[in-house]
Amino acid sequence: MLHAEGVGAMHRPVNVITVEREYGSQGADFARQLATRLGWKLLDSELVAGAARAAGVDPEEAAKLDERLDPWYYRYGKIFYKEPMYVTSTGEEYTLDSERMLELIKQQILEGAKVGNSVIVGRGAACALAGRPGCFHIFVYATASAKKQWFARAFPHKAQDAEQELAAFDRRRAAAIRKFYQQEWCSRGLYHMLLNSCIGTEAMISAVECAAGLCAPATAAHAAG
């Protein structure tokens, strides 16, 4: 599905594609293959690694804060005190929590968009780059049965909890985006295209290339024929 209003806001040739995705839709794998097809840089876990470097913390610790909110009791306590966890190069002290992590990731997203020729996965990229010329935003979803089948293959020991696990993961993503960007994560108005991954990766890539104006031009000989 193509959201016509957003397409008109691109204004210039697309050089950044963002891919938001439901958990279990295999949207991240699609993004990787799309980046490979286009010869562009993929920014997925790289966003978290870049944020970790900026914060001066271990990437594994930063990954624990990826696409989620801090617990309610932490957010409540944060109103009354701060516990410094790292110091920036400017000497400023910050608590590395989920909110700060989203700020650092947003900086990574903006930097990646400035460089261009990038496929950026999730983490509110469509919100961070909303209205920015040259950006094309995609939301990847899948049927409930397809997501449960994927989950059962990926986590066979938890297959019986597939429905609850899938829903919980998406709720965490949605809550983080709502808190930080004041946007609904799955709102159709944020995206130029909605794609059901059940059509297959090849069909998805072809659809995006054409919709974003990235299809290879026909040769003169073919055009003449």
In a domain, 222, yes or no: no
Give me the domain span that covers residue 43: 4-216
Is 3 or 101 the better-scoring residue by pLDDT?
A: 101
In a domain, 11, yes or no: yes
Tell me what pLDDT residue 209 has: 94
Confidence of residue 66 (pLDDT cuts 50, 70, 90): low
Residues of 173-206 as b/e, b for ≥16 C-beta within 10 angstroms?
bbebbeebbebebbeeebbbbebebeeeeeebbe
Tell me what pLDDT residue 211 has: 92
167-187: per-residue pLDDT in tens? 998 988 888 888 888 899 889
pLDDT of residue 45 exceeding 50, the answer is: yes
pLDDT of residue 42 exceeding 90, the answer is: yes
In a domain, 127, yes or no: yes
pLDDT of residue 2 exceeding 70, the answer is: no
Tell me what pLDDT residue 90 has: 45
Q: What is the mean pLDDT of residues 131-140?
A: 94
Tell me what pLDDT residue 95 has: 60
pLDDT of residue 63 exceeding 50, the answer is: yes
Confidence of residue 75 (pLDDT cuts 50, 70, 90): very low
The CATH number for 196's domain is: 3.40.50.300
pLDDT of residue 84 exceeding 70, the answer is: no
pLDDT of residue 49 exceeding 90, the answer is: no
Tell me what pLDDT residue 136 has: 96
What is the rounded distance in angstroms from the CA atom of residue 14 to the CA atom of residue 58? 34
Q: What is the mean pLDDT of residues 68-95?
A: 43
pTM, two decimal places: 0.79
Is 17 or 96 the better-scoring residue by pLDDT?
A: 17
210 C-beta neighbours (distance < 10 Å), count: 10
In a domain, 221, yes or no: no
In a domain, 204, yes or no: yes
Q: Which helix (H) or strand (E) holds 141?
A: strand 135-141
In a domain, 225, yes or no: no
Q: What is the mean pLDDT of residues 18-43?
A: 95
pLDDT of residue 196 exceeding 90, the answer is: yes
User: What is the domain count for the chain?
Assistant: 1
